[in-house]
Amino acid sequence: MTHAMLKGSNVPLEATTVRAVLCWSPGQGVPDVDASALLLGLDDRVRSDEDFVFYNQPRHPSGKVWRLGKKRGAEGLTDTIQTDLAGVESGVGRILLVASADGVTFDRVQGLRILLYDAQDADGEALAHFDVKPETGRETALICGELYRRGDGWKFRALGEGYSNGLEGLATDFGISVEEPDPADGSDADGAAQQPPPTTQMPDRSSSEALTQPQAPLVPPVPEVSLPLPPEQPAGVPAQPAYGYPPQQPAATQPAYGYPQPTNPPAYGYPPAPATAAAGGQAGHGFPPPAPAAPDLDFRLPPQGPQFIGR
């Protein structure tokens, strides 16, 4: 018959090998629960760190307390600690059965229960069970119960005592030496890596580019030399438009428009005057040549008009 236990109650155990099973209901957001055991001496403290059986040390050196591991069964998820009570050393007075959740509080764990079985009766029902309910819900480790000596036998007591500082805090209370992170390794108390403070400032973009770009060889500047300006050239007179006529060319090259080109320029529509006998004579441009210096004896005035006669 299974004993349903209340907090603080106890039950004697007839079995010599006991299997303590922690079970809980899985679900979304439900943390993983680990079972562990602490073997306490007669002074209620561990004799050494080897008296701590947990996931990193699943078996006690005596071979009488060990962790079976997790399974999924009809009750839900389980994690199990098995103890050979008949072979436990006489210096051990109590064995604490502990549940812990890594960094998660037990108010999110539903249906947490511890069941005790006779390990030699594979098909037998549970000898006792205790529904573990945290007192505040902020606990991250719980002592679900304990196996303790009473005379020549053993008993089981339901406890449900909680710790808000997790499995490490619980183990420290019973004499387990928890290794603190060494500040020299660059970690803080929470295990987070500390970054050394920067000792130099990073260069800005312009200076960093200057460090990576190849530098051109320095060339001494060429001295300035004043040179004279070239002589100013007269501006050419642009050609005037001929308003539809061929452009006028110099006299020596002007065409005669189909006629032989005269030796002398034209006299503006009059035939050219004959050259004078005197050296350097010039054309008269259509007028009679000037009179010679000596008077002409044959010169006669032209006839006068009637208007001058008899006046």
Whether 2 contacts 127, CB under 8 Å: yes
- The DSSP code for 290 is P
For the record, the structure tokens of 247 come out as: 């452009």
Distance, in Å, from the CA atom of 10 to the CA atom of 166, rounded to the nearest integer, reads 25
Coil, helix or strand for 157? strand
Average pLDDT score over the chain:
76
| The pLDDT value given to residue 247 | 59
* For residue 143, pLDDT beyond 70: yes
Q: Given pLDDT bands bounded at 50, 70 and 90, which one contains residue 27?
A: confident
| The pLDDT value given to residue 221 | 53
pLDDT digits (tens, 9 = 90+) for 194-229: 443 333 333 333 333 333 344 444 445 555 555 555
Dihedral over alpha carbons 102, 105, 106, 107 (to 10 degrees) = -150
* For residue 132, pLDDT beyond 90: yes
Pairing of strands 65-73, 92-101: unpaired
* For residue 56, pLDDT beyond 90: yes
Measured from the Cβ of residue 68, the count of other Cβ atoms closer than 10 Å reads: 16
Q: Given pLDDT bands bounded at 50, 70 and 90, which one contains residue 189?
A: very low
* For residue 235, pLDDT beyond 80: no
pLDDT digits (tens, 9 = 90+) for 157-167: 999 999 999 99
What residues contact 124, with CB distance under 8 A and at least 6 apart? 117, 118
| The pLDDT value given to residue 122 | 83
More confident site: 94 or 309: 94
Q: Given pLDDT bands bounded at 50, 70 and 90, which one contains residue 155?
A: very high
Q: Phi then psi for 23, rounded to 5 degrees?
A: -135, 155
